[in-house]
Chain A
């Protein structure tokens, strides 16, 4: 079979080369591939030891007696390899095929070419102090100040000694944080078998700032050195491990650059980390790594490595000396996987009024197809620039460079939003000064008032509403009760604003939507259930089913502002039931069944059914929303036009000031929006208050008190849901103070706010008492009582009439009205009839009432 021929031909072609014993010591390797010269202008340096990534290239070319399979096989790897190589299209790096056994130890494990570090450009070391021989001698890689030996040593020391006791990264879960972190990770590699070591650059920075600088400035040289170091260390410790290929070091979180906009020419060839959103991914591009040529005359084979996209085609056959007889054989050439990814700046990083920038990113080998369009990712890679040719036949070049990033490490930032609970991934980085400033602000006694007045300053007063929204922005503490079977406890606070049209409800919603990073704004009128939740779509290109998320899922960890809540169709509203209590969304559509997290706070605004708020009616009657939904709102506020002179005066002053104050004056008066944003972001990620003993007692008392109020009048005035609301509000208030403990002042404010909201929304217009059942059952207790009374009166009336099987409807109504002291409306009469019909006492057919 062709495989046998190819292998033997290959062996034959390489026999004239010396076979080095080991690849760990590169300086003994006298061979330097032609590509090396690219960086070596001085020919004398050719003879200098050539240290970079020897494991990689020498092994790739010269240890070719045996080949190993691309994937580890349990039996007879040598034999298997023959079969594997017979595949006509050999996707994969050449090195992965030509490695030998034994399958353990550094010598036996194949190195894999790192396409992410660019083409195999190797630089010789130069002696910086060649004149002073002896101890002062210091070898560095040409063009850098990196000494391979020192660098390797430093990195090994880092791996062996670095501990991160305060690490909160998800990846370190399950590791003993007081033991050297990366040694544990090496152990993990030997167990899992995935030969990739992700190294946090900030760890290196804290351990050895100089090493970090070298890594950032010369990643192309330093990372192979790291590879070398880690492999030595690994196989020293675990000489018997079997890995697919040698371990590759993938640094991430380089602090060099955070924002795509900040990239500039100085970053070229440096290690950078930027964040962004994937907008497009290309198809897989097979990139030739090694070209295979065969002589047309004598069938002599030779291989040429591809150097920066160019192949040096051999002009003469080395075997038979025929000129121009070598032909490229595609099937036998080696390719590696490559994918072009377009990354766009995250909307949060953008200055206002500008369009987002995009960057081209190349992913290589196993990083291909790791990300999808729409993913938010952090990438770490090397920034590259290459000149552009106008036309291959012309010497003129466009004076523009093409830039791209060769990616070394991907980190999805939004992955956890869909699956986990951790918020660290999206933790915003604040400078120390900023944090100090925020903490100083938090220490002020009136911080709560300050922040609430900074919220939407253009909207006048409504202080309690603003306070409520402020607490909503902070949210409660997330608790996990999965173990006890209760599932997640809702930490988000939901608020409903209802009131007269034109009381700046929409403006408040717009403000909140603009304030929070993950806010969504929809109008009940225009949104469908699908637009709110998620839908499944077929991608026209790939024919793949794609889950498109709607406003509620998109505002996970944020706030979903829903205007014209009352105009929403019942169908759409029903979706909210699950979201607002369970904080999840279940989807069963087109074969996709899943549950998405939608831990969103809902801020909704509703207008009364009649164009004006009718103070004689209850909230439910005014806005005509199902009570099942209303009871899911923690706070329901009425935004009414308070008709009072002092208020009018202040309002007028406020509005007039709006129209003549200059921008500077405005800014002096209020905390600006940026501070507020940062304050909230900081509190949300770093403050997780817990209930103190004293606060728990206060909460219990508050709840018992609430229950007591109603019990005297035969009403239930509080449900466990209200207690949960109180807890959330108290926690949020503690967050406002940056306090890790919920104290009694927090409970006091939570109680006050809750009471205020209830006073507004759950007051029974007939009795003037606060009655929670208006919101929980849709009817006040007094109304229910009265309904029963009327029904009883009607029954008595009918009974008093004696044995008449049928009565006239109108007659009965008039009789009842005549008999009763209180005014009885037709509605009430109908209701009473219905109640009696439910008791199977009578039936109503048309205009006659029959007894049963």
Chain B
């Protein structure tokens, strides 16, 4: 397929061609965007495009079309560039009009005084791979992509990085093939692997790539946006299709510049730190000139990332047996939670919760779960996190140890010297599962940072927002993060719902037991769970007038008996539980039955909490 190679391997030729045809009428820009959009739509063509997420940068051809699944971590200032410029070749004395769009560097001697110069504007986003993306999500999207591609363009790279990670993570969901890679080809000894790893290790030492979570890997990217950049928001998840630019000339070495900058007043605008951030070496931070970007509603590779309204259909078509999947998941989670079926029920509700709307300051649909009664300093919470990691596309476990609370940077902060937003652990994409492990917390002194971090976590849970620190003021960024807190007693953080874990099983060896539970699951089963969880979250939901009436009656009735037992806050929670319960059963609307079930569930939970209170006696 030579055409495929053309627009993927040399997209700039297409751009230049369209530009030349245009005779300087400005609509060529639209044509370029349309052209690539059309191309990408055809027969899953977008899967042929190599992805920066999977293929190491040095295997990718410069100036070829690549894609990148990422989160917008920072937005730089817009920049003006030469959209059209004229070169003046002194030797032949010939003038030529050239297009500067989708390029970083001009070719030939530029005539700055030309009347043909067109100054255009573009915006730069600093993008990082989606923070906390689960290993399975990375692998499946990679397999998805390459297995369908008839060609692996521009590279002979056969990645088997994923193989290693299977072994490391002890995953059971795909059959490990020890001698053969995903395509059935013999496994090649990965000689490049160390260099790949060391390059990322190297970069963290010399250049902070500003990943929100510690220990993340993967390329960061400067994405140049040419159209409608106001439509993008910080922390948006995107799949960017763009032209890769890695010209070494883009890197600015600080000391070389210092020598030349003495008399040039245009050079003093940036500090050394700023230059390092804004012009990092392209071998570490490639530039990507965006042709097209697909906003991602979720990053679950098992579901199409298209508009959410189709997802309901997709879900029902893929999961005709939704009820059985739900039941299986429930059983699985019950096992994981040591036989506590109520906690498993609540965990499912928590996993499909989603802030679907905001009424003035009130986020609707959030469902923070506090699993209390987890043993202190035992590996149990760690195992629980691994289970959740297996189910959701992105997640992060935050150990709330004193050291972490006092030292970790959670709230992103603007660094004015380097002119960038220094990331923090709370800068997460939508629907990331944040696993707060309070069992790691000991008694001790919280310092100022610790107090700030606790406040930030509290705000995150109560209002689903994070106040980023801009030194002179704070700026509020709404977020949509599923927070799960595991604690011994009731958590010191607020939560929407507290479930006291009541194990019915007491296996002598916890680890053996848990791994046995996991092994019992067929790998394909995991994929069903994943589709189920992401799909149920995206369903629409309504309440009919009739049910509204019934709920009102019910509320009044409950208040009559004992006003203390049912406050407005309880009704809020009950409505959320009812919503999530209906969605978890694949129902689009609240039924009388669903309402009753929700009430029962809540009654069960509350009675358990009260029992716990009377048992321990010292609970507030």
Contacts and interface: CB of A to CB of B under 8 A. Distances in A.
Given A347-B475, A353-B477, A399-B105, A458 B360 contact: yes
Interface string A514-550: 1000000001001000000000000000000000000
B470 interface: yes
Interface string B540-582: 0111000010011011100110010001110110011001000
Interface string A19-52: 0000000000000000000000100000000000
Nearest to A376: B472
Nearest to A291: B263
Given A282-B268, A660-B541, A401 B233 contact: no
Nearest to B74: A355
Interface in B358-410: 359-362, 364
A526 B451 contact: yes
A490 interface: no
B234 A355 contact: yes
B75 interface: yes
A658 B359 contact: yes
Contacts of B80: 265, 268, 385, 400-401, 403
B269 interface: yes
Contact of B478 (A352, A374, A507): A352
Contacts of A350: 475
Given A265-B80, A353-B478, A502-B567, A457 B249 contact: no
B543 A660 contact: yes
Interface string A329-371: 0000000001010101001001111111111100000000000
Contacts of B541: 660
A506 B455 CA distance: 14
Contact of A659 (B260, B421, B552, B575): B575
Contacts of B364: 658-659
B106 A396 contact: yes
Interface in A274-328: 277, 279-280, 282, 285, 287-288, 309-311
A392 interface: yes
A653 interface: yes
Interface in B74-128: 74-75, 77-82, 85, 100, 103-110, 112-113, 119-121
Given A347-B475, A502-B569, A645-B556, A265 B575 contact: no
B454 to A, nearest CB: 9
Contacts of A347: 470, 473, 475
Interface string B301-327: 000000000000000000000000000
A404 B77 CA distance: 12
A657 B548 contact: yes
Contacts of B560: 645
A179 B578 CA distance: 73
A460 B105 contact: no
Interface residues of A, number: 82
Interface in B46-84: 74-75, 77-82
B613 to A, nearest CB: 14
A386 B100 CA distance: 16
Nearest to B99: A399
A238 interface: no
B568 A504 contact: yes
A39 to B, nearest CB: 9
A595 B117 CA distance: 56
A447 interface: no
B7 interface: no
Nearest to B357: A663
Most chain-B Cβ atoms within 10 A of its Cβ — which of A351, A373, A652, A666?
A652
A395 B79 CA distance: 21
B359 A457 contact: yes
A340 B575 contact: no
A656 B249 contact: no
A507 B361 contact: yes
B170 interface: no
B421 A355 contact: yes
B360 A511 contact: yes
A353 B234 contact: yes
Contact of A309 (B78, B79, B263): B263
B471 interface: yes
A649 B119 contact: no
B416 A280 contact: yes
A764 B173 CA distance: 70
A403 B563 CA distance: 64
B82 A399 contact: yes
B106 A510 contact: no
A711 B575 CA distance: 52
A354 B74 CA distance: 9
A256 to B, nearest CB: 17
B339 to A, nearest CB: 33
B543 A666 contact: no
A353 B552 contact: no
B266 interface: yes
A386 B266 contact: yes
Given A502-B567, A510-B463, A656-B551, A396 B361 contact: no
Contacts of A460: 568
B416 A402 contact: no
Nearest to A311: B263
Nearest to B474: A347
A439 B269 CA distance: 46
Contact of A401 (B109, B119, B357, B414): B119
Contact of A388 (B77, B103, B266, B559): B266
A456 interface: yes
A206 interface: no
A564 to B, nearest CB: 12
A641 interface: yes
A309 B106 contact: no
B81 A511 contact: no
A783 interface: no
B260 A392 contact: yes
A354 B476 CA distance: 10
A128 interface: no
A643 interface: yes
Interface string B329-369: 00000000000000000000000000001011110100000
Contact of A399 (B103, B113, B475): B103
A392 B263 CA distance: 12
Contacts of B104: 398-400
B121 A354 contact: no
Most chain-B Cβ atoms within 10 A of its Cβ — which of A354, A458, A643, A663?
A354
A353 B233 contact: yes
A165 interface: no
B265 interface: yes
A310 B267 CA distance: 13
Interface string B225-264: 0000010011100000000000001100000100010011
B419 interface: yes
A353 B475 CA distance: 9
Interface string B405-442: 00000000010110101000000000000000000000
B479 to A, nearest CB: 10
A397 interface: yes
Interface in A489-509: 502-504, 506-507
7 contacts: A347-B473, A353-B233, A356-B470, A391-B260, A392-B260, A404-B269, A526-B455
User: Which 7 A-B pairs give the minimum distances between C-beta atoms?
Assistant: A353-B233, A652-B555, A660-B543, A458-B359, A265-B119, A652-B552, A401-B80
Given A310-B263, A651-B555, 17 more contacts: A263-B78, A309-B263, A309-B266, A340-B268, A350-B475, A354-B234, A358-B419, A402-B269, A403-B79, A404-B269, A457-B360, A510-B463, A651-B568, A652-B571, A655-B572, A656-B552, A656-B575
Interface of A: 41, 263-265, 268, 277, 279-280, 282, 285, 287-288, 309-311, 338, 340, 342, 344, 347, 350-360, 373-374, 385-388, 390-392, 394-404, 456-458, 460, 502-504, 506-507, 510-511, 514, 523, 526, 641, 643, 645, 648-649, 651-653, 655-660, 663, 666, 673
